[in-house]
A and B are shown apart, each in its own frame.
Chain A
Amino acid sequence: MNPTTTVSMTVNGTEATVHVEPRHTLADVLRHDLGLTGTHVGCEHGICGACTVLVDGSAVRSCLMFAVQAEGRSVETVESLGTPDDLSPLQEACRTEHALQCGFCTPGFLMMLTAFLAERDAPTDEEIREVVASNLCRCTGYQGLLRAVRRVADERGAAGRRQPAQA
């Protein structure tokens, strides 16, 4: 068989060591070596963004990254956001605003938007549309997703105003 190499990284807060070929993409390794099938592959050429994960806090197309490039880095996937009984605020907002239909693009959007909301405190509608325009959805027409992000940003802003001393 083809030679493999060892890659150690932190995935969703846990140390993970895999033995992979250098050409294996991060998306494939997350899905098939680590069993984290929430990250989806839609195009393998970086356009659709369904494969978006966070690497050291930044949104990355995991279909365009080799797993070996994640050596020593911290990877976060959709599995880290919440569970069916304990959805994150963004996941909850997506449910409320009907931001998903088939759900295939959803994990990629969630990861990208989680990173966006972590670094952008009070986004304008234009900024939200611009970041949502990074990834492709074929089912929803984006309207519910835009509303969901708006809702999370507004609720967070309101919560912040209620508790100004919060870190």
Chain B
Amino acid sequence: MTEVGRRAPRLEDPRLLTGRGLFVDDVDRPGQLHLRVVRATSAHARIARVDVADAAALPGVTAVFTAADLEPVPTIPVRISPQRERLVPYLQPVLAAEVVRYVGEPVAVVVADDPYVAEDGAELVVVDYDELPAVMDVRQADDGGIALFPERPNEVTQLVARWGDADAAFAAAACVVETEVTVARQTAVPIETRGLVAEWTGPAALEIWGATKVPHFNRAVLATMLGVEPEDIRMHRSDAGGGFGVRGELYPEDVLVPMLARRLGRPVKWVEDRAEHLVAANHSRAQQHAVRGAFDAEGRLLALTDEVWHDNGAYIRTHGLTVPELTASMLPGPYRIGAFSAVVHVVVTNKTPCGTYRAPGRYEGTFARERLLDAAADTLGIDPLELRRRNLLRPDELPHERGLEALGTTVVLDEADYPGLLDAALEASGYRTWQAEADRAVAGGRLVGAGVAVFLEKSGLGPYERAAVSLSRTGRVEVATGGTSLGQGIETVMGQIAADALGVALDDVDVVAGDTGVLSDGLGSWASRSSVVGGSAVHLAAGDVAQAVRRAAGELLEAAPGDIVLAGGRAAVVGSPAHSRSLAEVAAAVAAPPPGTALGDVDLSSNRRFDIAHMTYPYGVHLALVEVDAETGLVTVLRYFVAYEVGRAINPTNVEGQIVGGAVQGIGGALLEELAYSDEGQPLSASLMDYQLPFASEAPEVGTLVSERVPATSNPLGARGAGEGGLTACAAAVASAVGAAIGSPGLPCVVPLSPERVLALLRARTSAE
């Protein structure tokens, strides 16, 4: 059997299971110092004075730095975004100089020879603040005359996406449905917090551990800031305890650590604690939507409009306007829509800055759109599944150009069978029996309901990815990918692809991900791109090496390269399996060519770039069965199912793992997770006691249908990225089920559906009767 498509046990597991992973806090450099950040305790204030004397005098403290010591103070640049120039005034300085704009903002750093002492020192830094009013309400951010940035509006910009004449469609519509939905502020919470270790081994030689996601990009930015060449910086590979979009972007600490390592002439190590992480790492999701649909009498969606208020937090960071852009461009989902208009107000507030978190813009937009469809189905008296069927684009309507931009490319929905997968999902899950189960429960006085949400995802973002593959002297296949390890199994997936090209077993392949010293160019792992784009690059490079192996083996076996078959770790003449060499023998012969053979110019390595212009769009369905406790408002997810078209599942077990893990994460967002703030901007969810995450007691068993019925034509693997779809429609599906359970399908419109909110819905439902 081939490696691609096999449920291969992961290459990563032996080291991770035995505690032999290399996470950033596992890295120690001789002579290292430890860095601790002093963070703002006020949400909005002028810094009157920073007194570091006591901290600097503490035995064991090497130095204390404030913005005044860094002149000029670098700002964190935008990595990817439309409207870059407009964002410049809102970028974050790595240390606050005159103003702090969110609780948790770095104000000073203490460097000591021990992390406990560094924390002692940080507690001795005294900051005097002149408090300013905090801007907390995203809809009224410019009403109070408090500007976060001098002479700049708190509404940074509006992002607009539209086609057709929505106004005309609304005027002519048989039925107009409107609803307002809110997704609370949430964050990814990887179990490992952030960290970085930096060591200068020469005036222009910097080693870094702890980088992931986009190491090559971050390396280039740091090189510019530090006045060296990118090649002077090596980001080492390391294991990462989860990414989910939050880990690996360039943060203020990622600049401070190497800067101060150079200034102090010692390696510097920084690892944040969880309390810091919850106020310092990117938040996400916080959006309010006013969504409207114009329907004809048969429930066809003539026009969809959405006005969105996007709470960005205090600074624009590396993602710029990415999340608002994705919210707008992916809002239409897989549906046929005559006219469309989305306006996203991007607003700064005195809260932690926001970035991407798994399925960014799509978790929120899917929630808004699918709530609208449930409300419309209820209003029109049409079955919610039937309403969706009538509006899903059919296969013969694809590919379909949306006329919208996202991530530097245009949205072109590729080949798909949205209605077919909906039917397959209903069949495979037994959804009709869920509904029957709900009916029986309701008849018995319980509040049980089944819900559905259809989603469109995006993946395989270009413009390219790079891979290097080579055959070692001992016959091992060595693969380097420009993607990075986040825990997703990238080494295994890349390994399976290379193994097939060269006819070896997965265990004969070694994969290095995200090491800039091994591969000098890459675009990283994010946006579910690595299997598609990174995998295709590995496929090309491994194919080159296979060709070279056939050429060399042909020389040795006196056969034409086209007559050489690679299988079982050997190169054999087709039809004559005894007439063969092992790959190790071939490699040894290339290294020291036997007399009479022309192997001198054979290269058993290749470095290839795979270019891709458009994304590929995975899609699917979430189904949920929930019970609502009428006394407490507690929602229990009884059953959950995700159907996902991924084109080609390179490792089906991996794909299922991504779906199930994503679903539990997304159910957390639907029922539990909320980063709350006081009116003065004090974070109220600053520990894992307050920010509730799903444990196994909250995790339903998630059924999956991994569909490979419509391979993508954009890449040689036929793959669509599978990393995010497990999450995308969770808020929508859970809310749909809760609405069914309480007998008011359109009512649940805010996530998380906490017990308090659900009790309020029950009261609202009762008073409406």
Residues of chain A touching chain B, judged by Cβ–Cβ distance below 8 Å, are 1-2, 21, 23-24, 31-32, 36-45, 47-48, 50, 77-79, 81-85, 87, 91, 94-96, 98, 100-107, 110, 129-130, 132-146
Contact = CB atoms under 8 A, between A and B. Distances in A.
Interface in B2-19: 9-10, 12-19
A139 B240 CA distance: 12
B19 A79 contact: yes
A24 B114 CA distance: 11
A41 B665 CA distance: 21
Contacts of A40: 23, 25, 191-192, 241
A138 B489 contact: no
B234 to A, nearest CB: 22
A42 B488 CA distance: 19
B192 A43 contact: no
Given A45-B688, A141-B660, A103 B16 contact: yes
Given A24-B116, A101-B657, A143-B702, A42 B487 contact: no
A145 to B, nearest CB: 8
A131 B146 CA distance: 50
B696 interface: yes
B501 interface: no
A103 B657 contact: no
B423 to A, nearest CB: 25
Contacts of A141: 660-665, 699, 702
Contact of A138 (B18, B21, B191): B191
B654 interface: yes
Top 5 closest pairs, chain A to chain B, by CB = A38-B19, A102-B487, A103-B16, A104-B241, A141-B664
Contact of A45 (B25, B241, B242, B689): B689
B190 interface: yes
Contacts, number: 180
A104 B20 contact: no
A110 B21 CA distance: 15
21 contacts: A23-B116, A31-B25, A40-B23, A42-B241, A45-B275, A50-B191, A77-B19, A81-B18, A82-B17, A84-B20, A95-B10, A98-B10, A98-B654, A101-B489, A101-B661, A102-B240, A102-B488, A103-B16, A103-B241, A138-B191, A140-B661
Given A42-B192, A84-B14, A37 B19 contact: yes
A108 to B, nearest CB: 9
Nearest to B658: A101
Contacts of A23: 116
Interface of B: 9-10, 12-21, 23, 25-26, 28, 59-60, 116-117, 188-193, 239-242, 244, 273-275, 486-489, 653-654, 656-657, 660-665, 687-689, 693, 695-697, 699, 701-702
Contacts of B661: 101, 138-141
Given A45-B687, A101-B661, A102-B242, A138 B702 contact: no
A130 B28 CA distance: 37
Query: Which residue of B60, B239, B273, B488 has the most chain A CB atoms within 10 A of its CB atom?
Result: B273
A85 B507 CA distance: 13
B19 A94 contact: no
Contact of B19 (A39, A44, A101, A139): A39
Contacts of A79: 18-19
A77 B18 CA distance: 10
Contact of A84 (B15, B241, B244): B15
Contacts of B19: 36-39, 77-79, 107
A102 B239 contact: yes
B17 A106 contact: yes
Contact of A96 (B9, B26, B244): B9
Contacts of B18: 38, 78-79, 81-84, 87, 91
A80 B656 CA distance: 31
Contacts of B689: 45, 47
A145 B23 CA distance: 22
A14 B553 CA distance: 53
A101 B190 CA distance: 12
Nearest to A50: B191
A45 B274 contact: yes
A133 B697 contact: yes
A95 B242 contact: no
B282 to A, nearest CB: 15
B693 A136 contact: yes
Contact of A48 (B28, B191, B702): B191
Nearest to B16: A103
Contact of B274 (A1, A42, A87, A133): A42
A152 B661 CA distance: 22
A130 B697 contact: yes
A100 B696 contact: no
A136 B688 contact: yes
A109 B688 CA distance: 18
Contacts of A91: 17-18
Contact of A103 (B21, B654, B696, B699): B21
Contacts of B116: 2, 21, 23-24
Contact of A133 (B20, B687, B695): B695
Contacts of A143: 660, 699, 701-702
Given A40-B241, A103-B17, A138 B665 contact: yes
